[in-house]
Amino acid sequence: MIKSNQENLSVSRQCKLLFISRSTCYYKSKGESIENLNLMKKIDEIYLLYPFYGSRQMRAHLRREGNLASRHKIRRLMKVMGISAIYQKPNTSKKNVAHKIYPYLLKDKKIDISNDVWCADITYIPMNRGFMYLVAIMDWSSKKVLAWRISNTLDTGFCISALEEALYYYGTPNIFNTDQGSQFTSNDFTNLLKNNNILISMDGKGC
């Protein structure tokens, strides 16, 4: 938005017109250091073995291996990676009031034919110099991956792109089930399902 090669408007003047600090224009994100990327890779390896580890247990495990990273750093990196301890938790999630949450439709439902129910989920993938996110659209009965996309951000776009591809090649299911992640509860994602006459199901408490 701010252009440094404008003849009639200096950078300072452009910033004043947009009510932003001039220093903001020169800020460039440094990203994670090599040390942190290596620590994230190690955290991911441990998490695959012990998905019930929170930041305290993760710190204890790392210290047993000689890594003295603080709990604060580990907690921050786990948040960046989008991972948290898997265990039975109280209902402490805060829903986005702008997004509608749909009921769970699969309780006691027998799913034994393809294209009856599809599902989607997002997971984290460690890379040599960072990490990416993977979304997969799957058929519930056959477990076939119908489409997938990767992204370096947890936005809605790459989820919609994967869904559009699955619909193009495989038609439409009767029900589409997801968790209550903001990507799946967004209006853009749910409207695509509704426009194709697909019933929307979302995991809730106890699912």
Q: Is 17 helix (H, G, I), strand (E, B) or coil?
A: helix
Q: Is 64 exposed, middle or buried (0-12, 13-18, 19+ CB in 10 A)?
A: exposed
Instruction: Give the pLDDT score at 182.
Output: 85
- Residue 136 belongs to some domain of the structure: yes
**Domain identity same for 59 and 126:** no
Q: What angle do CA 75, 81, 86 make, to 5 degrees?
A: 70
Q: 62: domain range?
A: 34-81
Instruction: Give the pLDDT score at 157.
Output: 93
Q: For the chain, what is the domain count?
A: 2
Taking only the tens place, the pLDDT of each residue in 1-44 is: 555 666 667 767 767 666 666 666 655 556 688 888 999 999 99
Instruction: Give the pLDDT score at 90.
Output: 40
Lookup result for tokens 């020169």: 26
DSSP class of residue 174 equals S
Taking only the tens place, the pLDDT of each residue in 58-73 is: 999 999 999 989 999 9
CATH number at residue 173: 3.30.420.10
The tokens describing 54, both together, are: 């929170």
Q: Which segments of the chain have a pLDDT < 50? A: 88-94
Instruction: Give the pLDDT score at 2.
Output: 56
